[in-house]
Structure 1
């Protein structure tokens, strides 16, 4: 992009941030252990709102963010952001909009590239530790999220905006120069971010900001501290202080009041949301009711729920399919939007001695579960008491409906919110745990007859209203093609001989349709197109001086 120095800049080469492995005695494990100890010793931290370029002094009722692996301990406390503070945040953001939008893209991009380097370097151990203690992730899950994916979102985001800005009309008539300008939206963007990925929180504010928008950020109360660290990193990287307004708030009526104040404003221009389908639909309805108030039609971008599936063909590599089912269902306790919830296995593979069922049970029984600072634990806690109670209640519902629990099925919330990795076998492919989202370590399996492969594809497609991720394990290419066609609309992410989780920025653009969201594909250029307004510019160098057409001549 051109700058006042009359130069056209090219961003540095972008690649995926390598994952550190945290092996015993490695420098990264030593640094992370030290940070975990220091952070826990210094907790609880106070997280303020940040409005009008400054921290807001503590006032009103305080809320806490407990550590899910030992819920008697508090990682952070925060005050409630009031509707009045939200109004102040909107006006402060709008006042900063012109300067931010008019800043040359090379300078905006430099801020986010520097932030990525801070994430992957100086603050790597700190942001991973905050994600582990606050959101219940083990070291590996924190690393791939808060370090690598967040850095990837920031770096690839800058690259993708650079590509977007180069998209120009291919044709120019003689004496005409056509071009397209990609303006920021006219107003502010409201970002509502989830607990389960620190990287998603950062990306939901970075995407609109990179293309010149100002943003109000309402983080999940159960990810408040990690979100605050991301915000502090952006400020250290040079982000002007009023571009993003940070508004922590507990769930419930206070959040409803905050949201209502934001989405009822004349200059509300866009919603960037990750969370439940129910909440997103509710927001969409509220926004529709406010349409007559708005200057423009707001952009609504949402990544919501899922009831993700794995289909195993009779030709599949049984062990690979079983191991990837375990990873897909139980990594981070099933608290990924993409986590495996529905498993379809042919009877021949399920019932064989040493087959799918036996491998599944044997390997799940090896899973270590416990505190996040014990590195041997593959699984930790679910995020909250509400989540724990929901998981246990769905297990009971499944049993009452005739489902058989073949592994797990219990929990312990005495010190942390621990739900055992659970596998339910159902004879009813539309039973409650095959249909309703749980967002925890509960996997339901349906055993189908080998000859019913195509019928099972249809079943998968019609069982739920979700369509986020899905995968097939098969060594039969014709069967793989058949499933791909029959399940074309059943997921926005389709994996062949791989688990249904683990999309990588720049490699697998992420998103789903139907009840799973607007499918705007985080991690790709398409998401940025949702937060710009294109303006076509036509310049004629020598305009005509007569109105007659050549055909008018006698």
Structure 2
């Protein structure tokens, strides 16, 4: 078997199930939600395949019912972080020698387990622990997680088969080694798929990982670890250590075997990581690979030729799906004055119809924001808009945390294009709209490009191809993922590789070979089939 030259074919994206009333998947998911909500589990650290309990306990609660405890979890201290590093370094020695097809096979088995056996479990854990509705959980914790795993096996085939040319007396090849040391994965709360991919993409390339999950997504992340184990991932390849970032980071970034960080989170945190790494450069065996996807202030730019109803739907979906807690969520929009009244009316009708509440009621389009800190931060922005002459609240602006962290979808009209909610990342169900004079379309494009330090996602709505092309060029560096006549969210693995630049990260494009190749340390190998026997070259002859 090991002598075979194997290639994984390009997979198809996992089918998104509908969860329509009376469908089998809805019945299964409803039963799993009831089962999971009725129990309280204990979540240990997992280091070298062993469960570790520290006694330093945190709680996992439902954001939409914050008095309901789903789990307690143990937090890592200095000792456990060191143990995780040692386990990763030890596991890497054997893991990297495993044939790449075997590593890929484990990833594909994980995908199959999530697709069939554990689909309802992963979706229920994401719904309850991260307050996602059934559809948002399905496209995340089921479909995107599966797609990352399957497409990564395919991209692995592409990378390893990319070899240099050889000539008659020379054989040339490239060996794609893993990094020399361990990889630190720091994952966010908002996507279970990102949590999985930040760990599994380095691992599939032969690296061992120390994983710090977000404290607000520990439930679904713990189930991922259990599935990894069942699929045959060797002990120590991924080490699961919830805990405080300051405690974990101190040990990680000062260790000589630190080889790279795979991160999704705030720009501020990523900058702090980079600064700490710079201080410790003399400590490391190699320059670490730094891959990060950070903040965004994602835009929708609208040309007067656009269809108002299409624009309105894109704004509502793009801004308010998963409560705006997507890195790619529409957060600022620029509408021509001639269209504003029509779009405003349409958006208002949709928002009047949208229900807000518990994820277990499938009719709720909007659920809770992730925790009290997020609730406080988001509502402070709403109050700034309420108490200024530079902006006004058009829709929403109400909120209540008595039972869950609920914020109603809020639309702000900014009279000043540099009002704070047009410029700063909010990460919640708040959309700010600036209305521009129709004849100032190109001038407004420059405003879009210069207003935000971020460059993650953005879109242009236009039925004028010349105007579209102007926007395409003027906004060339304003977004790593750019959409034409679509909302700026919903990137699909294998279709729209995801990532942005400027203050939005290193743009290493999760969901393509570009990300995977960052977790390799290539070695070029030349074999001379006819070595020379004399030092002299022909030109030396008289």
Under a length normalisation based on structure 2, what TM-score does the superposition of the two structures give?
Answer: 0.99
Residue in 1 aligned with 2:458? Answer: 470
Q: Write the mapping of 1:27-106 to structure 2, written as runs, cut at 5 A.
A: 27-42=24-39, 44-56=40-52, 58-106=53-101
Q: CA deviation at 1:12?
A: 4.8
Residue in 2 aligned with 1:271? Answer: 261
Does residue 1:393 correspond to 2:401, yes or no? no
Q: CA deviation at 1:174?
A: 2.9
Q: Write the mapping of 1:139-288 to structure 2, written as runs, cut at 5 A.
A: 139-169=134-164, 171-249=165-243, 254-288=244-278
Residue in 1 aligned with 2:327? Answer: 337
How far apart, CA to CA, are the structure 1 residues paired with 2:486 and 2:539?
A: 64
Residue in 1 aligned with 2:430? Answer: 442
Q: CA deviation at 1:93?
A: 1.0
How far apart, CA to CA, are the structure 2 residues paired with 1:350 and 1:147?
A: 38
Q: CA deviation at 1:509?
A: 0.3
Does the 8 A contact of 2:457 with 2:500 survive in 1?
Answer: yes
How far apart, CA to CA, are the structure 2 residues paired with 1:255 and 1:392?
A: 25
Which of 406, 411, 429 lines up with 2:399 in the alignment? Answer: 411
Which of 343, 359, 368 lines up with 2:355 in the alignment? Answer: 368
Does residue 1:115 correspond to 2:107, yes or no? no
Q: CA deviation at 1:326?
A: 0.5
SS at structure 2 position matched to 1:64:
strand
SS at structure 1 position matched to 2:353:
coil
Does the 8 A contact of 2:296 with 2:457 survive in 1?
Answer: yes
Does the 8 A contact of 1:401 with 1:431 survive in 2?
Answer: no
How far apart, CA to CA, are the structure 2 residues paired with 1:295 and 1:315?
A: 56
Q: CA deviation at 1:255?
A: 2.2
Residue in 1 aligned with 2:307? Answer: 317
Residue in 2 aligned with 1:455? Answer: 443
Q: Deviations over 1:146-180 (max 9, x none)?
A: 000000000001111111111111x3233001111
How far apart, CA to CA, are the structure 1 residues paired with 2:38 and 2:386?
A: 42
Structure 1: gaps spanning 5 or more residues: none
Q: Deviations over 1:299-324 (max 9, x none)?
A: 11000000000011000011001101
Does the 8 A contact of 1:367 with 1:378 survive in 2?
Answer: yes
Residue in 1 aligned with 2:518? Answer: 530
Does the 8 A contact of 1:190 with 1:217 survive in 2?
Answer: yes
Q: CA deviation at 1:13?
A: 4.6
Does residue 1:517 correspond to 2:513, yes or no? no
Shift >6 Å, 4+ stretches: none
Which of 417, 420, 423 lines up with 1:432 in the alignment? Answer: 420
Under a length normalisation based on structure 1, what TM-score does the superposition of the two structures give?
Answer: 0.97
Q: CA deviation at 1:532?
A: 0.6
How far apart, CA to CA, are the structure 2 residues paired with 1:255 and 1:494?
A: 33
How far apart, CA to CA, are the structure 2 residues paired with 1:179 and 1:283?
A: 35
Aligned pair count reads 541
Does the 8 A contact of 2:259 with 2:287 survive in 1?
Answer: yes
Does residue 1:295 correspond to 2:292, yes or no? no
